[in-house]
């Protein structure tokens, strides 16, 4: 089930609002939310809901002895931790990377091993990381052991963040599973946040995404420098508004039920370095890798060489996490290289801010051009055309002309404004200066009604268009 579908908006969503509004008993509400979450996942993955339940059950059992042996039998502790990690990574590897691994072996060795055709369970990367973090934290002592399997099931399967994040760590919401409250104000704020996310997806991401698809479908000989940069910039906008839109919807839905999820994006396209970009982009993933990979590897405590290796390892794994394609691996390494360059060599924080901004956004855009490509070959063609693409074929010129419409220009202009905090900051400043908070609040909700109407019209006239991060 997709948040931007008529089934969700006109059937599932109203039932959810009724449940969180009317059911005040936390235990009863938790049970209903688990049932709704399993139904939500089973709607599109009727078989693989069993895989998620198996993951929940095994990780729940592995974590149960944590409090007893946390400071005692270190051998048993390491064995159980290893069991959890092996189980989770094996499941993730089997369903997500088996075909990629066999294909790579065949291409390198010339073998003809049959490539397994295993469908990818939606959201497996997200709920696997959540269960792993819970078990690790239970043995570290940074969270309590959840003895109620129903509450643990709610933590893992709660539908707003189940499919595409944000990755919620157990210690961030463990108290909320037992004690939380909701009221009409939280529900209204949650609905408004949901509408903001839906608008990002339906009105901006989908609009620029259709242009990106048209450009990437062209033959390499028809590309030119303008089309290549347009593809890179527009995809940079598409993936931000698509993914941050989903995160907004998840945070809004969680807030309606009394859950507070941490922010996943903090205006990443206002960054003045690649390192700053990664502090603002997909925050839940970067913090997960920092806590569970970078720090255990030694972080920056074992000298510059080891620090560089640790950082490169994190970004290599970040690329691999995104999918079973070499483009994702190269994208991760690409960002890892610039992390090292900024740490030891170029220091953009010392540059003039306009130059630093152009540099950081150019690196991010080129990186996303690699990320979007269907193959390394296509990525290299796009990057080549970004640099020396001064040949303009008839097809390329016609494609350019078709892109430049009043509607497309308006959408891109809105996107460039919306990717910055200028609207939020202006509204807050006016509310504080002129003491018109009620008027600003009324304007926000009026805008939400208007945006919802536009989204409904867009949904009625568009085909199925899932979120980009559904495939990760």
Residues carrying an active site annotation: 322
CA-closest candidate to residue 162, choices 279, 300, 53, 274: 53
Peptide bond preceding 223 in cis form (omega within 30 of 0)? no
Q: How far is it, in rounded angstroms, from Cα 412 to Cα 420? A: 13
Specify whether the backbone of 289 is left (phi greater than 0), alpha (psi in -120 to 50) or beta. alpha
Burial of 385 from C-beta contacts in 10 A (0-12 / 13-18 / 19+): buried
The one-character DSSP state at 299 is T
Compute the distance between CA of residue 183 and CA of residue 139 in angstroms, rounded to an integer: 36
Residues with Cβ within 8 Å of residue 423, at least 6 apart in sequence: 417
| Nearest-angstrom CA–CA distance, 208 and 46 | 32
Work out the number of other CB atoms within 10 angstroms of the CB of residue 317: 16
Q: For residues 279-289, b (16+ Cβ closer than 10 Å) or e, as one string?
A: ebbbbbbbbbb
Burial class (CB in 10 A: 0-12, 13-18, 19+), 264: buried
275: nearest Cα among 336, 216, 231, 222: 336
Tokens of 28: 């009863």
CA distance 30 to 150: 8
């Amino acid at each position: 089930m997709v948040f931007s579908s008529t089934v969700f908006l006109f059937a599932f969503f109203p039932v959810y609002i009724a449940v969180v509004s009317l059911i005040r008993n936390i235990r009863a509400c938790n049970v209903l939310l688990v049932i709704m979450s399993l139904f939500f996942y089973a709607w599109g993955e009727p078989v693989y809901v069993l895989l998620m339940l198996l993951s929940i059950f095994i990780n729940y059992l592995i974590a149960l002895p944590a409090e007893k042996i946390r400071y005692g039998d270190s051998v048993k502790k390491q064995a159980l931790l290893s069991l959890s990690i092996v189980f989770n990574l094996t499941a993730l590897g089997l369903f997500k990377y088996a075909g990629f691994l066999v294909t790579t072996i065949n291409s390198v060795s010339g073998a003809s091993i049959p490539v397994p055709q295993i469908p990818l369970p939606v959201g497996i990367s997200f709920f696997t990381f959540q269960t792993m973090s819970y078990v690790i934290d239970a043995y570290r002592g940074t969270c309590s052991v959840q003895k109620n399997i129903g509450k643990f099931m709610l933590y893992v399967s709660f539908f707003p963040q189940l499919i595409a994040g944000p990755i919620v760590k157990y210690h961030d919401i463990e108290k909320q599973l037992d004690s939380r409250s909701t009221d009409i104000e939280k529900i209204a704020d949650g609905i408004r946040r949901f509408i903001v996310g839906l608008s990002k997806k339906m009105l901006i991401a989908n609009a620029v995404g259709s242009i990106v698809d048209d450009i990437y479908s062209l033959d390499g000989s028809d590309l030119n420098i303008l089309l290549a940069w347009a593809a890179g910039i527009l995809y940079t906008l598409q993936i931000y508004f698509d993914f941050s839109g989903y995160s907004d919807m998840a945070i809004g839905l969680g807030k309606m039920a009394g859950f507070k999820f941490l922010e996943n994006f903090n205006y990443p396209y206002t960054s003045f370095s690649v390192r700053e970009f990664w502090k603002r982009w997909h925050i839940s993933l970067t913090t997960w890798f920092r806590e569970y990979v970078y720090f255990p590897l030694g972080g920056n405590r074992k000298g510059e060489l080891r620090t560089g290796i640790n950082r490169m390892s994190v970004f290599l794994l970040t690329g691999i996490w995104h999918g079973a394609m070499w483009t994702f691996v190269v994208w991760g390494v690409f960002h890892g290289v610039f992390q090292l360059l900024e740490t030891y060599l170029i220091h953009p924080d010392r540059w003039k801010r306009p130059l630093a901004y152009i540099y950081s956004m150019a690196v991010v855009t080129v990186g996303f051009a690699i990320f979007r490509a269907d193959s390394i070959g296509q990525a290299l063609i796009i990057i080549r055309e970004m640099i020396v693409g001064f040949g303009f074929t008839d097809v390329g010129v016609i494609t350019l002309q078709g892109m430049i419409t009043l509607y497309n220009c308006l959408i891109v202009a809105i996107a460039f404004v919306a990717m910055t905090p200028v609207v939020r900051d202006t509204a807050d400043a006016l509310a504080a200066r002129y003491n018109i908070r009620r008027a600003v609040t009324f304007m926000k909700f009026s805008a939400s009604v208007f945006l919802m109407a536009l989204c409904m019209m867009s949904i009625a006239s568009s085909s199925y268009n899932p979120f980009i991060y559904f495939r990760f």
